[in-house]
Amino acid sequence: MTYNTTLDFCELFDDYQLAESICSNIVRHSKHYSKSGRNDPQPALDTQALSETLKLLFNLSQYYPQHLSNLAKSAPQILKILCRINLSTPILQPPVTYLVNALLNLSVDRDDKPHKDSESNPWFPKPDQYCNIDRLISILDNAVRTYTEEQLETLATPLVTLLRKVFEFAPSHVRPHMQTALLPASSDRSQPLGQSNTLSSRLLRLSASAVAPSLRESVSSLLFELSDKDATSFVRNVGYGFASGFLMTHDLPVPMSATEGWSTGESDITLREKLTNVDGNEVNPVTGQIRELESETPEEEMTEEEKEREAERLFVLFERLKATGVVNVRNPVEEAVRERRFEEME
C-alpha cells in the first residue's frame, strides 16, 4: 500500500484521521491479550490483520516523520501485545517481528530528553518498570540460541537496534539493569570471555561474526553503548580481543594499558588497574578471564569448530583493520583461502 502508490498520505493524515484509525485498530487487537497470560491462539485472519497494520505503521513512521507524534500513541498498546502474546517457536516470526519493527521509530518521544525519569513513559510502566526491557532481552536470548548467524543477520538486527534505542533514553535506574543483563558477568570470567553459553557470550561471538556484518556492527555498538561509550570501560567489559576491531574501525583510541597487559611497566597504573580489576578480581585485559583461573585451565587442543570460529574472528579483525586505511595489511585468512590452504569441512 505504501510502495509505488499514487495515494496522497498527507491528505489521509490531515483529512481522514489515518493515524487515529491505525491506533484504534491496534487498541482493538490489544484487547485480545489478557494480563493473566492465558491467551488462546488468535484466529489466523486476526493475526494477519495485526501484522498488516503494524507493517503500515512502520512504513508511515519511516516516511512521514512529521506525523510521528500521533502514530506514537499506539506504542503502549504495541508493548502490551508484545508482553502478553504467546511466543511461538521459532520466536522471530510474525507478528513478533512486526511488533519489534513498529517500535523502532516509536521508541522515543521526540520531545523527551534522554534518561528522563518519567513515570508516564509507556516503556517503563510504574508497576514493573523492567517488564518491556526483560521481554525484549528474553526474545533476544531465545533467538541467539535458536537461529544460525546467517538467519540472525536479517531477523535479529532490528531487535538489537531497538535495544540500543531504548538504552539511549532509558531512565538512570533502568540502565544498570540492562547492563547487568547484557554485559559479561563475573561468572563468565572463569574462562576467556565469549566461550560460555550465556547471552553475553553469544553476543560477543556475534560481534566477531564473519557472515553477519550488519548484526556484528549492531551488537558491537550495543556493547559499546552499554559501556557508556567509553573505550576503557568497553575493553574492561568485553576484553581487548573483542573490543579492538570496533575501536579501530570507528577511529576510537585504544587504551594503551590494554595492549600492555602482559608487561610489568608502570606507565599508567590507574588505567591499568581499571582494565585488569573486575569485581575485586585481577583479569587478563585481552581475554577478560580471571588471572588466577588461567593456570587452572588445562591447555587443550582446539576443536575443529573452535579453529573455524577463531579463523572467522581473525578474518573480521583484519578486515576492520584494512577498512581504517591506517595500514595496508593483507588478511592472512583471506590469503590462506586464496592459496587453498584451507580444507572444506563436511
Can you tell me the distance from the alpha carbon of 198 to that of 182, in angstroms, rounded to the nearest whole number?
9
Selection from 98, 106, 105 nearest residue 81 by Cα? 98
Least confident of 67-81, 91-105, 194-208, 325-339: 325-339
The pLDDT value recorded for residue 306 is 76
The pLDDT value recorded for residue 108 is 58
Assess whether pLDDT exceeds 80 at residue 32. Answer: yes
- Burial tier of 116 (Cβ tally within 10 Å: 0-12, 13-18, 19+): middle
Vertex 114: Cα angle to 109 and 117 (nearest 5)? 90
Assess whether pLDDT exceeds 90 at residue 133. Answer: yes
Residues with Cβ within 8 Å of 269's Cβ and at least 6 positions away in sequence, in order, are none
Chain position carrying cell 508484545: 82
Selection from 96, 79, 92 nearest residue 42 by Cα? 96
What is the tens place of the pLDDT at every residue in 290-343?
Answer: 888 886 545 567 788 777 777 777 777 777 767 766 556 666 656 666 666 655
Assess whether pLDDT exceeds 50 at residue 167. Answer: yes
Assess whether pLDDT exceeds 60 at residue 266. Answer: no
Average pLDDT over residues 36-57: 83
pTM: 0.81
Question: pLDDT band at 113, cuts 50/70/90?
Answer: very low
Selection from 250, 255, 251 nearest residue 238 by Cα? 255
